[in-house]
Structure 1
Amino acid sequence: MTITIRAGGPDDAPLILGMLDSAVEWLVSQGRTRQWGTEPWSGNPRAVELVHRYAASGTPYFAEIDGTPAATLTLSTGPGPYLEPADEPERFIHLFATDRRFKGRGAGAALLAHVAQVTREAGISLLRVDCYAGDDGKLIAYYERNGFIRTEPYAYGEDKWPGQVLARRVL
């Protein structure tokens, strides 16, 4: 098994949407409907626009296992509009998803390590991500296993969606 990382671009939005749809399907099968809802992202015009915006303004990355896309994330210079930017230069991870067929094969961890290296090579110390903080906390624990520490919790929107910002120093 070989994991390779490649940078993408705006034309990869359909691939990102496909991975997000796969993740939603898996979450729903696990009864975890609060994280990303119950409907495919590709059928939600707001979600499609969000993916296209991030893919155009940031840098999508893909982990491929033996040539097949297995995980994706998009790296940008700051968080979404629902969070305050850091008080220093940062890189922010968006739209992190893995194809569940590759669960446990290291594609997600390889992507996180890669963007930590990209951030370090840019001379930037701070790498941040935010994620769903509800249910059993496994998502937060995953990021912690990959070198991130919890910084601030938040509640988003009218339904008070529980979120957690995590950070990793890479310099």
Structure 2
Amino acid sequence: MNTAIKIRKGGVSDVPAMLTILDSAVGWLNGKGITAQWGTEPFSSRPKTVELVEQVTTEGVPWIAEIDGVPAGTLTLTPHPGAYVAPAGEPESYVRFLATDTRFHGHGVGAALLAHAAEETRRQGVSLLRVDCFAGSEGRLVAYYERQGFTRTEEFVVGDWPGQVLERRV
């Protein structure tokens, strides 16, 4: 398989593909015994979650990573975080719903999308790129973002869900 990753701007018409990728990620996480991050039900089976993905897609710019023309990963860049994180107090780009389809794990899809997010943020004349993530599971996801050049900032909790905000100057 040619693993050249092409990243294209998405739109609302890509929401079904984005949900397929997110559903795949839920299945992968659950297969690893990680149920607290994104739950046990596919995103596509949760109407409020589907509505949130659609809303974030219209508030920001979705990006789709493709390998051989197949959607392999996604993220959406918005000019603000979700309601559970305070805005930065300066212009920012915020990574939302980063996920890789299970079939493409190990191909660098997430890293490529995050590098693209940094380039896009810089192109917009914004110097702050932020993301938040699940801080449970021994902090593995936090460590992943740190390997991608992000630095921890504030921690937060939504219900019993521990989160970590990270930032990267671009």
TM band (smaller chain): over 0.9
Aligned residues: 168
Cα distance in 2 for partners of 1:21, 1:56 equals 20
Deviations 1:43-77 (A, max 9, x none): 10110000110111111001111221111000000
* 1:17-36 equivalent positions in 2, closer than 5 A: 17-36=19-38
The DSSP-based 3-state class of the residue aligned with 1:136 is helix
What is the match of residue 75 of structure 1?
Answer: 77
1:106 aligns with 2:133: no
Structure 1 runs, 4 residues or longer, greater than 6 Å off: none
The DSSP-based 3-state class of the residue aligned with 2:137 is coil
Aligned residues of 1:12 and 1:55 also touching (Cα < 8 A): no
Cα distance in 2 for partners of 1:2, 1:112 equals 16
* 1:89-128 equivalent positions in 2, closer than 5 A: 89-128=91-130
Cα distance in 2 for partners of 1:106, 1:65 equals 11
TM-score normalised to structure 2 length: 0.96
1:13 to 15, 18, 29: 15
Deviation at 1:126, TM superposition (A): 0.3
Counterpart code for 2:49:
A
Counterpart code for 2:108:
G
Counterpart code for 1:94:
R
TM-score normalised to structure 1 length: 0.96
What is the match of residue 45 of structure 1?
Answer: 47
Q: Give the aligned CA root-mean-square deviation in angstroms.
A: 0.8
What is the match of residue 151 of structure 2?
Answer: 149
1:163 aligns with 2:166: no
Cα distance in 1 for partners of 2:41, 2:23 equals 8
Identity %, equivalent residues:
59
Gaps of 5+ in 2: none
Deviation at 1:136, TM superposition (A): 2.1
Cα distance in 2 for partners of 1:63, 1:47 equals 22
